[in-house]
């Protein structure tokens, strides 16, 4: 174990956005804070496994955040720093925090960016294609030699704006991790079970659907698994919950190498645990002080939250 709790098993490559966010909730606002799908994912996964980031930031990206990533064992040799501005996103949450509006989005240095992976990344057994244009996700996948497990996420912006690229990508992605609205948009179905069936026809063999406070549904072949969300009294900022869920799932799978159905179920609970911490504060702030012990404690609470007597149930 290293000091931050990650084991040195299978490496995990992630490509996706690194951004500066401005977030508005009904009562609070945080401007110019750390964001981006790859950022949330990498920090969450680094509690479990060594992570290698692919992406680009501008020369305005805070040096102390890069130092923080390195201190967590995150490999930044695939991160380009280009002259210009880092990606920027502003979002506002409704009173119902499952609903949010994008107020502004600037791709900035991601415009025209073509990722080239360092040689040391290409043999990684696990790869996650976090939110970014599907053509960029595909370019990263092209450079991986023979990954054991490829996971991916996408969002409304790309489902609506880059559908053809996305459909081409999905034929190469065994594990898709998206939220309920994205599953609806991708499939044209409201019902989650029907939506899942249609999404699985697009290529992935397994699908995790994140449903915010309602938890996660996992579909693979004929099996379905359901995990609740950890019941929290207050959700402060849901930004990045989905990315940290995916980071927990993939980080745990990379650390254990166990991609059996039982291993995946445990990974889903670890992902749910990390996501439940993320939403307790703005941006990645809660993850800055989180420890592996905190994660294990809440994992055990999750187990007792969902255990019931099978004998009683069948009586
Ligand atoms: P999530 O809450 O999991 O949907 O992720 C939020 C993160 O996605 C924020 O930190 C944003 O910086 C980032 N983001 C917003 N729009 C985009 C986009 N079009 N492409 C990639 N990342 C984005």
Cβ distance 101 to 91 under 8 Å? Answer: yes
Distance CA(292)–CA(51), nearest Å, equals 16
Dump pLDDT digits (tens) for 143-188.
999 999 999 999 999 999 999 999 999 999 999 999 999 999 999 9
CA within 13 Å, CB half, 201: 9
Q: Phi/psi at 157 (nearest 5 deg)?
A: -50, -45
Please give the number of the atom of ligand 1 that sits closest to the Cα of 35: 10
How far apart, in whole angstroms, are the C-alpha atoms of residue 123 and residue 127?
10
CA-proximal residue: ligand 1, atom 11 (nearest): 36
Nearest to 21 by CA among 72, 91, 100, 84: 91
Distance separating alpha carbons of residues 272 and 148, to the nearest angstrom = 23
Taking only the tens place, the pLDDT of each residue in 74-108 is 999 999 999 999 999 999 999 999 899 999 999 99
User: What is the SS3 assignment for 237?
Assistant: coil
Q: Tokens at residue 234, please?
A: 């207050």
Alpha-carbon distance 181 to 156, whole Å?
8
Ligand 1: nearest atom to the Cα of 238:
2
Determine the longest span between alpha carbons in the chain, in angstroms. Answer: 67
What is the reported pLDDT for 315?
46
242 CB under 6 A from ligand 1? yes
Ligand 1 mutation target, pool 16, 33, 37, 239, most atoms within 8 A of CB:
37
User: Is the beta carbon of 10 within 6 A of some atom in ligand 1?
Assistant: no
Question: At which residue do the structure tokens 């420890």 appear?
Answer: 291
Asked if pLDDT for residue 2 goes beyond 90, the answer is: no
Q: Could you tell me the two tokens for 162? A: 């880059």
Confidence band for 314, pLDDT divided at 50, 70 and 90: low
Q: What string of H, E and C letters represents the secondary structure of 43-100?
A: HHHCCCCCEEEEEEEECCCCHHHHHHHHHCCEEEEEEEEECCCCEEEEEEECCCCCCE
Categorize the per-residue pLDDT at 1 as very low, low, confident or very high, splitting at 50, 70 and 90: very low
Q: Please count the other Cβ atoms lying within 10 Å of the Cβ belonging to residue 309.
A: 8
- Determine the pLDDT at residue 309: 80
Tens-digit pLDDT profile for residues 216-270 = 999 999 999 999 999 999 999 999 999 999 999 999 999 999 999 999 999 999 9
- pTM, two decimals, is 0.96
Pairwise CA distance, residues 65 & 84, whole Å: 17
Q: With DSSP H G I counted as helix, E B as strand and the rest as coil, what are the percentages for the chain, rounded to 5? A: 40, 25, 35
Q: What is the predicted pLDDT for the residue at 310?
A: 73
- Give the closest residue to 152 by CA, choosing from 261, 246, 45, 218: 246
Ligand 1 neighbourhood includes 110 CB (under 6 angstroms): no
Cα 280 to ligand 1 centre (Å): 18
Q: Is the CB of 52 under 6 A from ligand 1?
A: no
Question: What are the DSSP calls for 1-48, one per residue?
Answer: --TTS--SSS-EEEE---EEEEEE-SS-EEEEEEE-HHHHHHHHHTTT
- Across the range 42-63, mean pLDDT stands at 98
| Terminal alpha carbon distance of the chain | 45
- Counting from 1 in the atom list of ligand 1, the atom nearest the Cα of 133 is 20
- What confidence score (pLDDT) does residue 159 get? 98
Using pLDDT thresholds of 50, 70 and 90, give the confidence band for residue 6.
low
Query: What's the CA-to-centroid distance between 283 and ligand 1, angstroms?
Result: 11
Q: Is the pLDDT of residue 313 over 60?
A: no
Question: Which tens digits make up the pLDDT trace of 8-46?
Answer: 468 999 999 999 999 999 999 999 999 999 999 999 999
Q: What is the Rg, in whole angstroms, of the alpha carbon atoms belonging to the chain?
A: 18
């Amino acid at each position: 174990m290293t000091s931050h709790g990650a084991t040195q098993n299978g490496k995990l490559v992630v490509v996706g956005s690194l951004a500066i966010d401005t977030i508005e909730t009904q009562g609070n606002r945080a401007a110019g804070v750390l964001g981006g799908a790859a950022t949330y994912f990498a920090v969450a996964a680094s509690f479990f496994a060594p992570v290698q980031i692919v992406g680009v930031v501008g020369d305005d990206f805070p040096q102390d955040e890069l130092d923080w990533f390195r201190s967590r064992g995150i490999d930044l040799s695939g991160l380009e720093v280009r002259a210009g501005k880092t990606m920027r996103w502003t979002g506002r949450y409704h009173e119902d925090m499952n609903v949010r509006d994008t107020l502004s989005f600037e791709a900035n240095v991601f415009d025209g960016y073509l990722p080239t992976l360092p040689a040391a990344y290409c043999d990684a057994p696990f790869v996650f294609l976090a939110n970014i244009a599907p053509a960029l996700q595909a370019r990263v996948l092209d450079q991986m030699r023979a990954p054991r497990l490829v996971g991916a996420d996408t969002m409304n912006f790309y489902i609506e704006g880059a559908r053809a690229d996305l459909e081409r990508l999905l034929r190469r992605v065994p594990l898709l991790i998206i939220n309920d609205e994205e599953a609806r948009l991708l499939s044209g179905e409201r019902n989650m079970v029907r939506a899942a069936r249609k999404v699985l026809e697009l290529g992935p063999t397994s699908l995790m659907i994140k449903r915010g406070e309602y938890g996660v549904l996992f579909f693979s072949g004929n099996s379905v698994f359901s995990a609740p969300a950890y019941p929290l009294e207050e959700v402060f900022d849901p930004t990045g919950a989905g990315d940290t869920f995916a980071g927990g799932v993939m980080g745990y799978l990379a650390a254990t190498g166990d991609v059996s159905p039982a291993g995946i179920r445990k990974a889903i609970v670890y992902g749910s645990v990390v996501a439940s911490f993320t939403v307790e504060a703005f941006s990645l702030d809660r993850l800055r002080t989180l420890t592996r012990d905190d994660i294990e404690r809440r994992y055990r609470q999750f187990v007792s939250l969902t255990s019931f007597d099978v004998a009683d149930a069948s009586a």
